[in-house]
Amino acid sequence: MEMQTRETTSMEERIEQAASFLRQCYSELEKSSAELNGRIEAVHKEIRQTGTYHHTAEELTHGARMAWRHNSRCIGRLFWHTLEVNDAREAKTASQVAEALLRHLERAGNGGRIRPVMTVFRSGREPGKAIRIWNHQLIRYAGYPAADGQPRRGDPASDAFTAVCRRLGWQGSGGDFDVLPLVISIGEEPPRWFTIPDALVQEVPLSHPEIERFGELGLRWYAVPVVSDMLLEIGGIRYPAAPFNGWYMETEIGSRNLGDAGRYNRLGAVADLLGLDRSTNTSLWKDRALLELNRAVLYSFKQAGVSIVDHHTAADQFVRFQEQERQKGREVSGKWHWLIPPMSPSSTPIWEDNKLRELNLSPRLIYQKPAYAGRDSNPDCEEPAGQEASAMPAQELKCPFHQ
């Protein structure tokens, strides 16, 4: 996955990008040579007349699925072909975008039986009309740094965005698990925020199959991780708003979101509950606390009837995905240090896979700067948001689920 840069695509390059995508897409959809040649001819004509072209609904759907398949940091690609794609390119106002996002949450949540879904809004060809979703994920907890003698609360990863939301007029409770609002901008219009109805925010309180007092920690997490700040590129067309979701792997919640020192940092609290010796690393208290925290995540999600996968099963599924792609004659793009799970990685089959490499494949999902970058110091947030973002420094790259 690469960073977004300013687009300087010539007409001839755009034509070649479109033709390359169409050849691959129509081949995978088993369409005839006549259908392919006719479509390429029509697209060439459209690009020469308008400078761009419009994907059909079928092309958009398969292109989005291909982008998931090409995502080098995703371990769950075995199910790429099941992705449901909502075509929301006709949405024009912030209210219409918000309505589509709420429909996405309802469809994806599915009462706990989570569906992989992507909602694609119009392309960013006209910066003055570009749609940007300011949230990193549609559902995300607020972050409140320590201030005025009060301890920090919430998710440190959300501190900057929470400050933006508060300047826009949103106010949370100041607690650890305040759900942030949706924030949407259309071109140069000021951003608008929308509260997510409680009915669409399914949360799972964490308990443990054996440790009765685990619930006293007051931990919980939301069911559906909808990454909402990445750009989708299909055949040279860029969609700056294309939120998508799969389902969680338990270590994404237990090891990273709740366990990381730079996130909720709850390993110490779990260790104390277990009565572990934290005075020395040789007690392996962090390892033991990490294991029980992840057990609690798996147990609680399964008790709540919410889809989740453990990291061993996910690694086995990734190997199956690799084999399926090999049989199709396609090489798998993979970033090894992102694909190995953050707990017991050497016990998974990915650990010794020395052939993984990141490929420059299209369609693809691309990182872009947060829509509020450069705007969040302005209380009115009225600086135009439609321009494509310049590349972020390499150290800011994060896995979509853990940022």
Enzyme catalytic residues:
74, 77, 247, 252
Q: Give the pair of three-digit tokens for residue 303.
A: 């008790």
Listed in sequence order, the residues at least 6 apart from 328 whose beta carbon sits closer than 8 Å to its beta carbon are: none
Residue 341: cis peptide before it, omega within 30 degrees of 0:
no
Determine the Cα–Cα distance for residues 133 and 98; give it in Å rounded to an integer: 9
3-state secondary structure of 301: helix
64: helix, strand or coil: helix
Tokens found for residue 4: 């977004």
Return the SS3 of 378: coil
Radius of gyration of the chain (CA): 22
Q: Find all residues with CB under 8 Å of 16, minimum gap 6, and list them.
A: none
Tell me if residue 308 falls in helix, strand or coil: strand
User: Distances from the Cα of 55 to the Cαs of 37, 70, 88, 357, in angstroms?
Assistant: 15, 19, 13, 30
Q: What residues contact residue 171 under an 8 Å CB cut-off, 6+ apart?
A: none
Q: Please give the Cα distance from 192 to 182 (Å, whole number).
A: 8
Contacts of 197 (CB under 8 A, 6+ apart): 102
The Cα 195–Cα 329 span in angstroms is: 46
Encode 5-15: b = buried (16+ Cβ within 10 Å), e = exposed: eeeeeeeeebb
Rounded CA separation 252/307 (Å): 14
Q: Report in angstroms the alpha-carbon separations of 170 from 124, 165, 182, 222.
A: 28, 5, 10, 20
Q: What are phi and psi of 385, to 5 degrees?
A: -115, 0
Return the exposure string of 49-74: e unless at least 16 CB atoms fall within 10 Å of the residue's CB, then b: eeebbebeeebbbbbbbbbbbbbbbb
